[in-house]
Amino acid sequence: MSSPEQSVSFDRAATYYDQTRGFPAGIDLKAAALMAQTAGITRDSQVIEIGVGTGRLALPLAQHSGRYYGVDLSAAMMDVLRSKQPAYPDGDIRLTAGDVMRLPLKSGSIDFAVMVHILHLIPDPQAAVRELARVLKPGGAAVAGWNWRREPTLEILSQAWGDVTGDFLRHDRRDTAPETLEAAGWRLRRQDGLQYSTTMTATQKIEAFRGRIYSSLWRLPDEVWRAGVEAMEKALAEHYPDPDAPQPVEHTFFVAVYERP
């Protein structure tokens, strides 16, 4: 586990990341197409993605771009990406295990810098943004993507968890790219979103918290995590007579394009 001063490595999540954070079948292609269209990414574009992970966006997005560089702390996550590459034969993805503070690229060599749920995991996000500005060409842009979700019939479980853990829980799931970029003087060029829906059962939601699969749970004290799970289990017993019934989940994947200062 990383210390609070280190960027968060997702080695421990490599085997299940796509099952918990990946897009449903076919939505990844739509999300990548939206990102390419919104940003203006073409086959002539040189792209870098920081925190490339298992490639949930890199693999479909590289079908729209030229050379696509991916950087991540976790070699295990990138191994999963490599295992999926045969299903996306048209992408030219070059992977590097490394730190986003020292990108292995020449200054002014990249057209677009992609970031999805990553800046809030970096101790000095402003320094990371300055490094992105260094590698971008004049007129280059940062392309931020983030997910919003709503679970209208499962909010009772979320409330039970929050009532116990609220003073301890880090907001690691909230993407901070827009506010970080804007604070550094980057200007919003365009924003768009893709809506889709899935389902989740109350049992599945609690199992995710029992298994501590989200990075926001990794740093919680064990006793706080256990108390939060117990509160959710109590709410489950009281409010969900059929805990395995599918419940609706509403999603929006947002894309925002920022011009460097």
- The DSSP secondary structure of 173-224, one letter per residue, reads TS--HHHHHHHTT-EEEEEEEEEEEEEE-HHHHHHHHHTT-SHHHHTS-HHH
**φ and ψ of 250, to 5 deg:** -100, 135
Q: Give residue-wise pLDDT tens across range 181-205.
A: 999 999 999 999 999 999 999 999 9
Q: Which two tokens stand for residue 201?
A: 């059962």
246 pLDDT above the threshold of 70 = yes
The winner for highest mean pLDDT among 9-23, 35-49, 148-162 is 35-49
Residue owning tokens 């899935």: 198
Task: Provide the pLDDT for residue 213.
Answer: 83
For residues 121 and 45, which has the higher predicted lDDT (pLDDT)?
A: 45
Q: Give residue-wise pLDDT tens across range 86-130.
A: 999 999 999 999 888 999 999 999 999 999 989 988 889 999 999
Least confident residue range of 164-168, 216-220, 241-245, 251-255:
164-168
Q: If you average pLDDT over residues 151-179, what whole number do you get?
A: 80
Residue type at position 31:
A
For residues 14 and 257, which has the higher predicted lDDT (pLDDT)?
A: 257
Question: Angle, to 10 degrees, between the axis of helix 222-239 and the axis of helix 155-165?
Answer: 150
Q: Which two tokens stand for residue 240?
A: 């969900």
Task: Provide the pLDDT for residue 70.
Answer: 97
pLDDT > 70: what percent of the chain?
89
Using 50, 70 and 90 to split pLDDT, how confident is the model at 85?
very high
Q: Give the mean pLDDT of the chain.
A: 89
Cross-strand partners of 150 = 250
Q: If you average pLDDT over residues 239-247, what whole number do you get?
A: 98
Indicate the pTM of the whole model: 0.86
Residue owning tokens 């959710």: 232
pLDDT > 90: what percent of the chain?
73
